[in-house]
Structure 1
Amino acid sequence: MQGLTLKQLRSLQAVVETGSMTEAAARHLLSPPAIHSQIRKLEDIVNARLVDKDTDTQGFVATQSGKVLIAAAERIDGILSWARDNLNALESGSAGHVRMGFESTGRYFAPRLVAILKQRCPSITVSFEVGNRDRIIGLLETERIDLAMMGRPPRPPETEATPIGEHPYSLFVPLRHVLARRPDYDPETLLRQPILAREPGSGTRILLDRFLDQIEGYGTPNVIELDSNETIKEAIIAGLGVGMLSLHVVRRELAEGLLVALNWPRLPVMRYWYLVSPLAAQISESTQRIRQSILDENGTFLPVGAARS
């Protein structure tokens, strides 16, 4: 692909993101013919059509070949972002910059872990981002983060995943709920309650669906989807239903007596936190040092009762 330039790739990304040559041109302070020329040069280089008109919206969309080049452009952006962060770190006197990603529930210990890492490795700058599973996988795929803390290792991309500690989940109700007053196993009463849940595909929802599948035959669950663990937690406290959540999310509410965990068979559901990194040959010395420092902590930064035995 001799002659391919970042400018051409940026033009392709802009056209597909905006669906318009005119809007892509405005984004890059160019004329529409200039953007069109960049796309045509790129198509000539790879000998493939890269964009088509959508029959419904009449906007430009990527062909399969275009999607391949956009994915490559996103990875290049990730590598350049890594270079920028590390150059800035070197300029400020640090030995390097390590970027971490945490799945949503990791927000309850991410700041504590980063503070520990800053103490253990003061010469390395550590930054972090919290997002849902799809977001963190996307950041790994485009090399915008160096390490990730996840409940399930992704595939793809190909990574190395090491378990670092337990991550228990259970069903929760408010203190005066009928299921809190009658603690014996009672799936029929459970299925008469609204079941508050995250979106399909999320880790929490997968666990909830598996648990509900095990009590099939007692009724049809009335599942109400909410957008975050915090919303589910507040809805449970308000008496709007029963929800499955990580014990990390509700440890304060349990201590204050606002919530009760159901002590039923198959509860809590045990998952594990994994430290996920690219394969060893692909990571920098700074990333390797931070990775080893996390493993040396042996899960002590996780909420009480969740550290690895």
Structure 2
Amino acid sequence: MKSRLHAHVGTIRQLEILLSVHDKGSIKEAAKTLFLTQPTISIQMKKLSQAMGATLFNYTNRQVVFTDIGLELVKTAVEVLDSFARLDMAIGNIKGFKSGTLRLAVVTTSEYFIPHLLGPFLEQYPDIDIQLNIGNREQTIERLKQGVDDFYVFSHPPTDIETEAIEFLKNPLVAIAHEDHPIAKKKNLTLKDLCQEPFLMREQGSGTRYAIEEFLKQHQVNLNIKMTIESNEAIKHLVMSKLGISILSAHTLLYGGQRGLVRLPIKELPINSNWFFVWSKAKRQTLIASEFLNHIESNGRQLLQQEMVKSELAYTK
């Protein structure tokens, strides 16, 4: 017996609105993105919920939290809209151009170099739309579980989800301090020297913090954590203000600027890790996603590696 559920899941526009509410996390932000009023968004979501005969999301501390049924509908909405995107691309290819939407979810530190990958790609395919979501490691893992994006960028991909991945760039984590900090004047520094200074740490759920904590376990030492901050840029400015030292990805210096900052020559550092492009095995790859993957492997990886070498931030033991 054929399912008649498709007769109840709403219009294509309602599915677009649903995805925007999910991605933005609020009615207000979805309204801004879609250039609609908040009441319009609310009405359409109410109609969709009624059509499904189930609550799609609730409000917790003023945040939109999707129900299990809501998350399943989000996955279906992605598949439906991807089908139209593939049709659009197929028609576009027949007409001699490529178009469509590429969805990326990346951890915060990778936001420094992702634009340098997207720039050349968009020059080649100017009619492509990009949807870029930036979050910490835990938030990006949650999006991977939901399967709403084409690719995910991690320095430490999760091992409990069925995925495929390519390693494409080194991600050395280095110690930084203000150039006038007393520790910056010392030579032959060790990890013990670092542990004596006020340390500025990324938040729980951050990939950088995860790597630092694993590194500390291996060396059986503890840092003198004075502040926990949810932003690489905020940490850099606090270091510039001589409020402590930190360990961050070298990419935050290469692409984000390093005015007044120096890299500390700690014997045990850097913490060597790599960046990975990850995608779900369960999600069918769109034509434009395949094109982007080819771009990463053929041009993007080499471009970023060259920039790392030029900056003298690439480091191998």
- Tell me the TM-score normalised to structure 1 length: 0.72
> Is 1:266 equivalent to 2:282 in the alignment?
no
For residues 222-251 of structure 1, the C-alpha deviation after alignment (integer angstroms, 9 at most, x for no partner) is 341012000001111110101110101013
Report if aligned partners of 2:154, 2:277 keep a CA contact under 8 Å in 1: yes
Q: 1:299 aligns to what SS in structure 2?
A: helix
Letter in 2 for 1:259: L
Letter in 2 for 1:249: T
> Is 1:71 equivalent to 2:71 in the alignment?
yes
Report if aligned partners of 2:122, 2:128 keep a CA contact under 8 Å in 1: yes
The corresponding residue for 1:96 is: 100
Report if aligned partners of 1:97, 1:124 keep a CA contact under 8 Å in 2: no
The corresponding residue for 2:42 is: 27
- Within-5 A mapping of 1:161-200: 161-200=165-204
Q: 1:270 aligns to what SS in structure 2?
A: coil
Report if aligned partners of 1:147, 1:291 keep a CA contact under 8 Å in 2: no
Report if aligned partners of 2:191, 2:267 keep a CA contact under 8 Å in 1: no
Structure label with greater radius of gyration: 1
Pair 1:298–1:308, CA change in 2 (3 A): farther
Q: 1:145 aligns to what SS in structure 2?
A: coil
Which deviates more, 121-130 or 155-164?
121-130
Letter in 2 for 1:201: G
Letter in 2 for 1:224: M
Q: 1:266 aligns to what SS in structure 2?
A: coil
The corresponding residue for 2:240 is: 237
The corresponding residue for 1:250 is: 253
Q: 2:302 aligns to what SS in structure 1?
A: coil
The corresponding residue for 1:125 is: 128
Cα distance between partner residues in 2 of 1:288 and 1:193: 47
Pair 1:106–1:25, CA change in 2 (3 A): closer
The corresponding residue for 1:47 is: none
Q: 2:272 aligns to what SS in structure 1?
A: strand
- Within-5 A mapping of 1:2-17: 2-4=3-5, 5-6=8-9
Cα distance between partner residues in 2 of 1:77 and 1:308: 44
Q: 1:296 aligns with which of 298, 306, 314?
A: 298
The corresponding residue for 1:134 is: 138
Cα distance between partner residues in 1 of 2:262 and 2:174: 10
The corresponding residue for 2:230 is: 227
Pair 1:207–1:155, CA change in 2 (3 A): closer
Q: CA deviation at 1:2?
A: 4.1
Letter in 2 for 1:272: N
Cα distance between partner residues in 2 of 1:103 and 1:36: 31
Cα distance between partner residues in 2 of 1:130 and 1:214: 33
* Contiguous gaps of at least 5 residues in structure 2: 28-38
Q: CA deviation at 1:174?
A: 0.8
Pair 1:261–1:214, CA change in 2 (3 A): farther
The corresponding residue for 2:287 is: 285
Cα distance between partner residues in 2 of 1:25 and 1:118: 33
Q: 2:205 aligns with which of 197, 201, 206?
A: 201
Which deviates more, 143-152 or 280-289?
280-289
Cα distance between partner residues in 2 of 1:129 and 1:6: 26
Letter in 1 for 2:79: I
Cα distance between partner residues in 1 of 2:9 and 2:301: 42
Q: CA deviation at 1:153?
A: 2.2
Pair 1:148–1:180, CA change in 2 (3 A): same
Q: 1:165 aligns to what SS in structure 2?
A: strand
Report if aligned partners of 1:99, 1:128 keep a CA contact under 8 Å in 2: yes
Report if aligned partners of 1:109, 1:301 keep a CA contact under 8 Å in 2: no
- Tell me the TM-score normalised to structure 2 length: 0.70
Percent identical pairs in the alignment equals 21
Aligned length: 281
